[in-house]
Amino acid sequence: MQKLVLWLAIWCCLHGQSYAQNTTQNEPITVFLDCNTCDSDYFRTEVPFVQYVIDRSAADLHVLFTSAQTGSGGQSWNIDFIGQKRMNGRKNGLRFNTESTATKDEIRQAQVRYLKVGLLPYILETSTFDHVTIGYSATQNTTEVPIEKPDKWNKWTFSLTGGGSLNAQSIYSDRTIMVSANADRTTDRWKTGAGVYFRKQVNKVTINNTPRTYTQESQNVYGRAVYSLAPLWSLKLYSGFTRSTYENYDAQFSVSPSIEYSIFPYSESTKRSLKFQVGPEFAATQYLQKTVFGKLQENTWGQVSKLIMQWQQPWGNINGSITASNLLNDPKKNRFSVGGNVEWRVVKGLNLVMGGYASRIRDQINLVPEVGEDEILLRNKLLATNFEYQTFVQIRYTFGSLKNNIVNTRFDESGFFIYGF
């Protein structure tokens, strides 16, 4: 009798385990899509054979998209497939590039294509795979070995931008135009670039039936070269010319060499980065008006030190920087700034987003002695201050149905937006 009970217990356990495995295999895998720039509705429509969930801890698979800009202005994408729950311990990754000329639709098509490829090893163990069809589209003679065509641009990329905006009311109008041009070249050893920028803003306001016009204009020309000195070391030389009515610069020429050390390999920059930068800075300045120190022109030497951190992980992301600068001939004229943002998935469904920046300012040597009330209200001139800060915090808690693949865009109001310069 005892043997019979024992055999029945063993049979029930094995049968129950087999039934549980079959039940699990019949269920589609649950996926948490972690991509701030992805079109989630498009993903749900084009990849319907998985179950999307809104909480990371409820997913069998955490799919994390990260990207970095390429030398041609496109994007280099990484997709990390991180197994959890019934896929625990299984981790894979894919990498692909999109061109700078790619439209949003072309980018999301590429994202979906590589997502499907990355999901295949995981759905092999489920009944979902029985309904998957694998296709191949040949665009050339497959017997030929692809030959990379010569790059007639020699890795140089160019961009031209121009635009304007107009905002008008009965007693106020604001007109802005902006033009810029950039040229960049990126290789494994060198990163070089140059550019020009012009912006003009004209404000017209009527006070007591008296029209007044205020103009703000800025111009900038720059050149830079970055050299890969060693696996974790880099050198940079930057030079620029600036003219700004807002900052009281009639003409400023600056040169700033600097060195950078990266704690982590540059190849990991889409996931984690911690870099130190330090270097001197020389500036020869001609002012539009005499400054509060009675100077119309001066030459200054200074130094700038930076700590820059970026961290993107399954639990969230952190971006931050600390900058310290001062004049070498007068260290009391200095500036210290700290800023960043954090997005942290605290617990199931609970996200904390916070960020901002703060600066202690002691280096405003370009201030004009007097600023009119109208210019203060219009922020047409740089104003004296000992500090500057901005901060925000947001707590988001999501609960309810975790699994819902339905896409319904009826009465979605995308509205419109205005470009600013």
pLDDT value for 402:
58
Query: Per residue, what are the HEC states of the chain?
Result: CHHHHHHHHHHHHHHHHHHHHHHHHHCCCEEEEECCCCCHHHHHHHCCCCEEECCHHHCCEEEEEEEEECCCCCEEEEEEEEECHHHCCCEEEEEEEECCCCCHHHHHHHHHHHHHHHHHHHHCCCHHHHHCCCCCCCCCCCCCCCCCCCCCCCCEEEEEEEEEEEEECCCEEEEEEEEEEEEEEECCCEEEEEEEEEEEEEEEEEECCEEEEEEEEEEEEEEEEEEEEECCEEEEEEEEEEEECCCCEEEEEEEEEEEEEECCCHHHCCCEEEEEEEEEEEEEEEECCCCCCCCCEEEEEEEEEEEEEEEEECCEEEEEEEEEEEECCCCCCEEEEEEEEEEEEEECCEEEEEEEEEEEECCCCCCCCCCCHHHHHHCCCCCCCCEEEEEEEEEEECCCCCECCCCCCCCCCCCCCCCCC
pLDDT tens column, 205-250: 888 888 989 899 999 999 999 999 999 999 999 999 999 999 999 9
pLDDT tens column, 123-163: 887 777 767 777 666 555 555 555 656 778 888 888 999 99
pLDDT tens column, 73-92: 788 888 999 998 888 888 88
Q: Which residues of the chain carry a pLDDT beneath 50?
A: 1-23, 417-419
Predicted model pTM? 0.70
Sketch out the chain's domains with CATH numbers: 2-131 (no CATH), 156-397 (2.40.160)
